[in-house]
Structure 1
């Protein structure tokens, strides 16, 4: 083959140098997003996770001038949505909105998960964090946590507490309570949260672990009383509820929501999304709406959220093992 002429060589050299000098992202990507973004929500319409998701991404869409279209894909403890996003093109145009089950699933399902949580899904932003709560039927004889512990010890295996699934954070909260208090309160699983709320309000089941946003409507309607919350600090929306850790030191469990992207998504896009979502939660209008729900937010970077996820995965792995929680 003949050698390129000198002008040809100069053109090849210029092209090569131009390639070396090119930025890591094309200019079109630097203006991300240039079209609608798909947000796969692992939870059903109308629940806390869905409401918070739509508030945040609605505000983000207005801020960036593009639509963030929320697609609800519930089922299999959030694994259907997570699998869909893990397999999506990593270009920033498919995101996952997931919640606490995300950190339970690695220990609950193990090798049966159709994706690797840490490897295939990258943390972007911790969207919401709220303590769990323990509610009681207003007519229940145990009015306080010490009363409940004493009653449960007098009647081992005779008291019932509701949750909406095996391995949920509410179930884990009950197991943690039993471990720390030395009690044997039964776990009663409901398929639908509405059914458990109805039974709690009617006194058919005396206790239920929940979270702050789900607790507020029941306490405000005088259908339930919050015996304690599972966070470290007082909660303004539940001023009469003490922290569980006052009675059982070290007791702390959370509900949380977060945004994830498929592995391989450019770092520039991840950092841009994180920065913009931090800006969204500083908006007074957004803050007021979330605070009214009891959905607490805080500024966080990608590394902060990644560390939080690791802590949560480790916590649930320990609890699943100690309580022998499994799904057959």
Structure 2
């Protein structure tokens, strides 16, 4: 993770002396934002995306002097919220908070997607990334990834792993595992996370791919064991947990969150919003909150995030094709 520079002081004296009071000038001239901004979150209240979205929105409200009101509109792998924002006025007062599913949906839904991801939703800021994880029920007989691979090869089609949807990054992580390990572990789909977690912690379905923020509470409570994370380097909040790539070279999957705006939103608003979000991500208090959750924030421009989304779309398109993932 790159070094994050210390934030600017925001006292009037320091700002005036350093010429840093400029961000407040557009507000004095009646420029954006003049009223509360609606942030449509594609995921349910209380989940990882919701928690991180609210951290950023609260900080933006403090910086810009207007509310950033979160509206949770989950459903259909994020497409309900994305469609609503794609059709909203492009005036900077409706934003989308979305996640990894956005880069899966173009290949998963194809022409059935009710909007064009690339054309209708403009990337503004990548708010966080977090590696995926593989969790197991503590009583499961395979205690390590090599033991799991060996067990799965001896028992093809007899071991189950859960996720909360077809084509989710958790599902794709399982398919990648099967491809690289030469195994056939079953994908068990749940409609909501609570039921899947209950069956994981009781051993009914002994494996589940998740992400670091979703894994931490369960490992801390002793309800699951994290077998591996899917990032390229050690995860500080999961000490001693190995990277999946140690056993399956090239294995790397992430979850990410980001802010998007409807196509046609004025470029000056997009630039201002990106600047403010970068400032939020550099704030030591925000860094501490995100780090404690196992989320990684880094500086990024409009162009950086656009390129990142393109790479993610290409990765998931390749995986959907190779694994023949379909929603019928």
How high is the TM-score relative to the length of structure 2? 0.91
Give matches, 1:230-241, under 5 Å.
230-241=230-241
Give the match for residue 262 of structure 2: 262
> Residue in 2 aligned with 1:309?
309
**Could you say which residue in structure 2 is the equivalent of 1:115?**
115
Q: 1:28·1:34 contact (CA, 8 Å) conserved in 2? A: no
Find the counterpart in structure 1 of residue 290 from structure 2. Answer: 290
Q: What 5-or-longer segments of structure 2 have no aligned partner?
A: 1-25
Aligned to 2:156: 156
Q: Name the counterpart of 2:90.
A: 90
Runs of 4+ aligned structure 1 residues displaced above 2 Å come to: 26-31
CA shift, 1:28, in A, is 8.2
SS of equivalent to 1:204: coil
Between the aligned partners of 1:192 and 1:261, the Cα distance in structure 2 is 28
> Contact conserved, 1:42 with 1:78, CA < 8 A, in 2?
yes
Partner of 2:136: 136
Instruction: Identify the residue that residue 16 of structure 1 maps to in structure 2.
Output: none
Which structure has the larger Rg over C-alpha atoms?
A: 1
The match for 2:274 is: 274
Aligned counterpart, 2:216: 216
The question of whether the paired residues in 2 share the 8 Å contact of 1:104 and 1:313 is answered with: yes
SS of equivalent to 1:326? coil
Distance in 2 (CA, whole Å) between partners of 1:152 and 1:136 is 14
Q: Given that residues 163 and 208 in structure 1 are in contact (C-alpha distance below 8 angstroms), is that contact kept between their aligned partners in structure 2?
A: yes
Structure-1 residue corresponding to 2:170: 170
State the shift of 1:288 in Å. Answer: 1.2
What CA distance in whole angstroms lies between the structure 2 residues aligned with 1:109 and 1:46? 27
Compute the displacement of 1:29 (Å). 8.0
Matched residue pairs, number? 303
In the alignment, the residues of structure 1 paired with residue 169 and residue 230 of structure 2 have an alpha-carbon distance, to the nearest angstrom, of: 11
Q: Secondary structure at the match of 1:66?
A: coil
Query: In the alignment, what sits opposite 2:19?
Result: none
> Deviation of residue 262 (structure 1)?
0.5
1:9 is matched with: none
Q: 1:31: how far off? A: 2.7
Shift of 1:94: 0.5
Matches of 1:131 and 1:252, distance apart in 2 = 8
Aligned mates of 2:196, 2:28 — CA distance in 1:
49
* Deviation per residue, 1:11-55 (Å, 9 max, x gap): xxxxxxxxxxxxxxx998873111110100000111110010001
